[in-house]
Amino acid sequence: MKINWRGLVALAVIVIVVFWAVDSVRSHSYTGTNLNFNIGSGPVTVTNPSDASVPVQLVGTGGRSYTVSSTIDGVSGSSTRQGTGREAAQLFEFALPPGVSEFTVARGADVNFVADTDTTLEATVQSLGEGAVRTTLAAAAVVVLAVLFYISRMTGHRWIAPLRRRADAIQAAKVLAENATVLHGQGQAIRSYGDNRAEIPD
């Protein structure tokens, strides 16, 4: 049995691209105490079930600063540089209030959410922002369509023939139905009757 390796490679590319797109846009959940996880460019939702605020830090590596916007009153602004040289880091500290809070980090790279607390927090992280999600899905769709076209061309577009036959059969059935409707709409032929008028006596 001859194996079409090019077709197998093309199918593998489709699987890899779809997996990459799904993994890129899906959200990640974290639950527990002393949470420490990476933040992307999408929104981060954190639930604090306690009645007291919890101190947290957003720690970024390197000298590149980032900005924070949030639904928490008074929590927004830019990170501050800590240390020098290779030990430099970007830090943003705030108090996480009770309930559900959301924040977003912009222009950041390798920023981690750090909560050194015994309070069990629940967090949901969207790795990409809305614009990046659309771009990722569009890029994946373009690649998948291109690979599908390559597979179709490699097989001589043989899948088109059954579709054409099906389309022709549907069109033929439609024409027959229209002709039947026209014939039925003509109705019965008009019958001819003799002159049944009574003769008037003289």
**Cα(174)–Cα(158) distance, integer angstroms:** 25
For residue 175, what pLDDT is reported?
61
Q: What is the pLDDT of residues 47-105, one digit of tens each?
A: 999 999 999 999 988 677 889 999 998 888 888 888 777 777 889 999 999 999 999 99
25 vs 97, residue with greater confidence: 97
Reading the block at residue 180, the tokens are 């039947």
Q: Residues 127, 43: contact at Cβ < 8 Å?
A: no
CA 94, 25, 36, 119 torsion-angle sign: positive
Whether 106 is in a domain gets the answer yes
Domain count, the chain: 1
**Cα(150)–Cα(124) distance, integer angstroms:** 39
Mean pLDDT for the chain overall: 79
Q: Would you give the distance in Å from CA 11 to the centre of its chain?
A: 21
122 vs 186, residue with greater confidence: 122
pLDDT band at 1 (very low <50, low <70, confident <90, very high): very low
Backbone angles phi, psi at 172, to 5 degrees: -65, -45
**Cα(56)–Cα(115) distance, integer angstroms:** 5
In the sheet that holds 27-32, the strands lie side by side as 27-32, 121-126, 43-48, 99-106, 67-70, 77-78
Given a cut of 80, is residue 187 above it in pLDDT?
no
Question: What is this structure's pTM?
Answer: 0.62
Whether 200 is in a domain gets the answer no
Reading the block at residue 160, the tokens are 């088109």
CATH of the domain at 99: 2.60.120
Q: What share of the chain is helix, strand, coil (3-state, %, to 5)?
A: 35, 30, 35
Whether 60 is in a domain gets the answer yes
98 vs 132, residue with greater confidence: 98
Whether 155 is in a domain gets the answer no
**Cα(143)–Cα(16) distance, integer angstroms:** 11
Domain, as residue range, for 41: 29-125
